[in-house]
Amino acid sequence: MFPPHILIHGFTFKTVYLFIIVPGLIGGYNFLTKHKSTIPEKSTLQFMFLGLIYFSIVSLTVLFKDISVIGELLMGFIIMFASSFYVNVYYKLYGENYLIRLFKHLNIACIINSTFVIATFLSPHFKEFLYGFIGITGTARRYLFGDVAVVRYQGIVPSGFSFLSTTHALLLVIGVWGFYMDKRKYKFLEIILFLGGQIIIFMAILLIGRTGLIIILLFLIALMFYWINSVVHNYRISKKSVKLISLFIVVAVAGLMTVNFSKYKKNIDFAFELVINLTEKRKLDRSTAEVIKHHFIFPKKAVNLLLGTGNFGRSPVLPYVNSDVGYALFINGAGILGMLVAYSLYFPGLYYSHKYRRLNPYLSWFIFVYLFALIILNLKDYYFISHVGYSQIYFIALSLLGIEIKLDRINNP
């Protein structure tokens, strides 16, 4: 989930090859030779293959100058196979508890990276030491060590920003979900440690980027509607839910009381900029309004609007598109048609999570909210397929849904 670049005597060892590429190749081999794939995985791979054919054909014409989307789709195959490999390993190791164990371990990985984020924030000396042997991108180094208004932190990964913030938020949701689904009786110390871990993740999100707050808000709204629906239909709400929320509030308040907010005012103002502007100024600030007004840059010709210009706006040899909006970049590059073809890979997840929602309502709910969040996130940044953790989380959820469907068919033929 957080594969670092390790610097050893001038050589950069990219652990992404060990933790994603190699498992992806093993998972791909199992898929091709042993037909180890589930219904949602197979359907998603078919849509991805369709997209690969479409963009390969288009790239042969003068329309396509930037073929990065082909690389992203190829990475998607690797991530899908790797996710399937990991999920199947967890199922073999832990049996019926595989899902809860996987979520807990993902959450722990996030707590570890969050700890590095907070440590580099609190200690400039530790930050210098850590990035002496952890490789980061030039842009990340500028935001960590350069003369910038607000420093952006990232832990042990090569680059952070909104994508890493999104990943942390999703793993926080997954951790809470796995904790809630586990029906065993927790000891008081375990509950305190768990809540402390989630607070660490939340604090790290504020230091990485504000996008994670959007994810948390979306899931909280979805959770509120889910609970309201449960109360209306079942006339009750879980005692475990009430206890967990109450204890979380107590731990959070106790933790906040120990923080010197004046010392970290700049970071707090940056993290909650939108909330502060809406509550105190009763309007969006100029920078936010400018983004909404000027970043929706689309081709002026109808044919380019439909098929794109072949320029996704970030290639060093092509004109820069002055927008961060994912839809604007994708439509400039591949057009509305290309965008629909590319994002069709998410349709099987939406369809099967709805069709089999009774097998595991929590899992179906997570996939649905994730896909809705993806729509929102592309208004801020370019979210498609990436080796950054948010893509792995989706494909892991899809593989989990596939196993749930397979087990249901075995148990209820």
Average pLDDT, the chain: 81
Residues 196/232, Cβ–Cβ less than 8 Å: no
Mean pLDDT value of segment 146-174: 85
pLDDT-derived band of residue 115, with 50, 70 and 90 as boundaries?
Answer: very high
% residues pLDDT > 70 (the chain): 82
Residue 307: what pLDDT?
84
pLDDT-derived band of residue 259, with 50, 70 and 90 as boundaries?
Answer: low
Domain spans of the chain, in order of start: 5-294
Residues 243/304, Cβ–Cβ less than 8 Å: no
Residue 411: what pLDDT?
81
Residue 84: what pLDDT?
92
Residue 48: what pLDDT?
94
Residue 217: what pLDDT?
85
Contacting residues for 230 by C-beta, under 8 A, at least 6 apart: 236, 237
Residue 206: what pLDDT?
87
pLDDT in tens, 333-357: 888 898 999 999 999 999 999 888 8
Chain centroid, CA 257 distance in Å: 30
Residues 3/14, Cβ–Cβ less than 8 Å: yes
Locate 344 and state its tokens.
Answer: 């069709």
pLDDT-derived band of residue 261, with 50, 70 and 90 as boundaries?
Answer: very low
Rounded to 5°, the CA angle 1-16-54 comes to 95
Phi-psi category of residue 104: left, alpha or beta, with phi > 0 → left and psi -120 to 50 → alpha? alpha
Lowest mean pLDDT among 81-90, 160-169, 170-179, 279-288: 279-288
Mean pLDDT value of segment 124-151: 84
Residue 276: what pLDDT?
47
Residue 34: what pLDDT?
73
Residues 173/201, Cβ–Cβ less than 8 Å: no
What span, in angstroms and rounded, lies between the C-alpha atoms of 98 and 103?
9
Lowest mean pLDDT among 46-55, 64-73, 185-194, 242-251: 242-251
Closest by alpha carbon to 360, among 180, 90, 214?
Answer: 180
DSSP 202-229: HHHHHHH-THHHHHHHHHHHHHHHHHHH
pLDDT in tens, 269-323: 554 555 445 445 545 444 445 555 566 778 888 888 888 888 887 777 788 788 7
Residue 286: what pLDDT?
47
Lowest mean pLDDT among 202-216, 268-282, 292-306, 380-394: 268-282
Residue 255: what pLDDT?
56
Mean pLDDT value of segment 155-167: 87
Q: How far apart, in Å, are the Cα atoms of 110 and each of 30, 148, 170, 284?
A: 29, 26, 10, 32
Share of the chain residues as helix, strand and coil, in percent rounded to the nearest 5: 70, 0, 25
Supply the pTM of this predicted model.
Answer: 0.83
